Amino acid sequence: MTLSSLQRALAHFAAERDWEQFHTPKNLAMALAGESGELLEVFQWLTPEQSSQVMQDEARAVQVREEMADVLAYLLRLSDVLDVDLEQALAEKIEKNRCKYPVHLARGKADKYTQLGG
Protein backbone atom coordinates (compact mmCIF):
# COMPACT_ATOMS: atom_id res chain seq x y z
CA MET A 1 0.00 0.00 0.00
CA THR A 2 1.09 3.56 -0.64
CA LEU A 3 0.61 6.58 1.60
CA SER A 4 -2.05 7.93 -0.76
CA SER A 5 -3.96 4.63 -0.80
CA LEU A 6 -3.87 4.55 2.99
CA GLN A 7 -5.13 8.15 3.07
CA ARG A 8 -7.99 7.22 0.74
CA ALA A 9 -8.87 4.23 2.94
CA LEU A 10 -8.88 6.41 6.05
CA ALA A 11 -10.93 9.13 4.33
CA HIS A 12 -13.45 6.50 3.20
CA PHE A 13 -13.59 5.06 6.73
CA ALA A 14 -14.29 8.55 8.14
CA ALA A 15 -16.83 9.40 5.43
CA GLU A 16 -18.81 6.19 6.03
CA ARG A 17 -19.21 7.23 9.65
CA ASP A 18 -19.82 10.94 8.95
CA TRP A 19 -16.69 11.77 10.95
CA GLU A 20 -15.26 14.39 8.58
CA GLN A 21 -17.06 17.00 10.71
CA PHE A 22 -14.78 16.03 13.60
CA HIS A 23 -11.60 15.72 11.54
CA THR A 24 -10.54 19.33 11.80
CA PRO A 25 -6.81 20.07 11.82
CA LYS A 26 -7.00 20.96 15.52
CA ASN A 27 -8.80 17.75 16.47
CA LEU A 28 -6.54 15.57 14.34
CA ALA A 29 -3.39 17.19 15.75
CA MET A 30 -4.70 16.67 19.28
CA ALA A 31 -5.57 13.04 18.53
CA LEU A 32 -2.11 12.54 17.03
CA ALA A 33 -0.52 13.91 20.22
CA GLY A 34 -2.72 11.67 22.34
CA GLU A 35 -1.81 8.56 20.39
CA SER A 36 1.87 9.50 20.53
CA GLY A 37 1.47 9.69 24.29
CA GLU A 38 -0.06 6.22 24.33
CA LEU A 39 2.93 4.90 22.39
CA LEU A 40 5.27 6.64 24.80
CA GLU A 41 3.43 5.06 27.72
CA VAL A 42 4.51 1.59 26.53
CA PHE A 43 8.16 2.64 26.98
CA GLN A 44 7.75 4.98 29.96
CA TRP A 45 9.35 2.95 32.74
CA LEU A 46 11.53 0.63 30.68
CA THR A 47 15.29 0.76 30.84
CA PRO A 48 17.09 1.43 27.54
CA GLU A 49 17.88 -2.27 27.36
CA GLN A 50 14.27 -3.29 28.00
CA SER A 51 13.05 -0.82 25.38
CA SER A 52 15.37 -2.42 22.83
CA GLN A 53 13.78 -5.79 23.53
CA VAL A 54 10.15 -4.60 23.68
CA MET A 55 9.07 -6.48 20.55
CA GLN A 56 10.12 -9.80 22.09
CA ASP A 57 7.23 -9.53 24.59
CA GLU A 58 4.17 -10.39 22.47
CA ALA A 59 1.70 -8.38 24.56
CA ARG A 60 3.88 -5.28 24.40
CA ALA A 61 4.62 -5.89 20.73
CA VAL A 62 0.89 -5.82 20.00
CA GLN A 63 0.58 -2.55 21.94
CA VAL A 64 3.51 -0.99 20.09
CA ARG A 65 2.16 -1.99 16.68
CA GLU A 66 -1.34 -0.74 17.46
CA GLU A 67 -0.17 2.59 18.87
CA MET A 68 2.21 3.12 15.96
CA ALA A 69 -0.67 2.41 13.58
CA ASP A 70 -2.85 4.93 15.42
CA VAL A 71 -0.10 7.58 15.19
CA LEU A 72 0.32 6.93 11.48
CA ALA A 73 -3.43 6.97 10.87
CA TYR A 74 -3.87 10.37 12.49
CA LEU A 75 -0.80 11.77 10.75
CA LEU A 76 -2.13 10.57 7.40
CA ARG A 77 -5.60 12.00 8.08
CA LEU A 78 -4.09 15.34 9.14
CA SER A 79 -1.91 15.50 6.05
CA ASP A 80 -4.93 14.66 3.87
CA VAL A 81 -7.13 17.32 5.49
CA LEU A 82 -4.36 19.93 5.18
CA ASP A 83 -3.37 18.75 1.68
CA VAL A 84 0.24 18.16 2.70
CA ASP A 85 2.26 15.80 0.52
CA LEU A 86 4.03 13.87 3.27
CA GLU A 87 6.53 12.24 0.93
CA GLN A 88 7.59 15.62 -0.41
CA ALA A 89 7.59 17.20 3.06
CA LEU A 90 9.81 14.42 4.39
CA ALA A 91 12.18 14.59 1.43
CA GLU A 92 12.53 18.34 1.97
CA LYS A 93 13.08 17.87 5.71
CA ILE A 94 15.76 15.23 5.11
CA GLU A 95 17.60 17.66 2.84
CA LYS A 96 17.25 20.46 5.40
CA ASN A 97 18.62 18.18 8.12
CA ARG A 98 21.45 17.08 5.84
CA CYS A 99 22.55 20.72 5.73
CA LYS A 100 22.03 21.28 9.48
CA TYR A 101 23.85 18.08 10.45
CA PRO A 102 26.84 17.62 8.12
CA VAL A 103 28.42 14.19 8.51
CA HIS A 104 31.84 15.53 9.42
CA LEU A 105 30.34 17.44 12.40
CA ALA A 106 27.45 15.22 13.47
CA ARG A 107 28.72 11.66 13.08
CA GLY A 108 28.32 9.77 16.34
CA LYS A 109 26.93 12.79 18.21
CA ALA A 110 23.45 13.46 19.53
CA ASP A 111 24.05 17.20 19.81
CA LYS A 112 21.57 19.70 18.42
CA TYR A 113 22.83 21.37 15.23
CA THR A 114 23.36 24.65 17.12
CA GLN A 115 25.91 22.89 19.31
CA LEU A 116 27.94 21.19 16.57
CA GLY A 117 30.20 24.12 15.74
CA GLY A 118 31.91 24.22 12.48
Which three-class secondary structure state does DSSP give residue 111?
coil
**What secondary structure letter does DSSP report for 113?**
G
* Residue ranges of the chain assigned to CATH 1.10.287.1080: 3-84
Do residues 29 and 78 lie in contact, with contact meaning Cβ atoms separated by under 8 Å?
yes
Q: What local confidence, expressed as pLDDT, does residue 118 receive?
A: 67
Q: What are the pLDDT digits (tens) for 19-58?
A: 999 999 999 999 999 999 999 999 999 999 999 999 999 9
Q: What local confidence, expressed as pLDDT, does residue 117 receive?
A: 81
CB under 8 Å to 22, separation ≥6 — which residues?
A: none
CATH number for the 3-84 domain, one of 1.10.287.1080, 3.20.20.70, 2.30.30.830, 1.10.3720.10? 1.10.287.1080
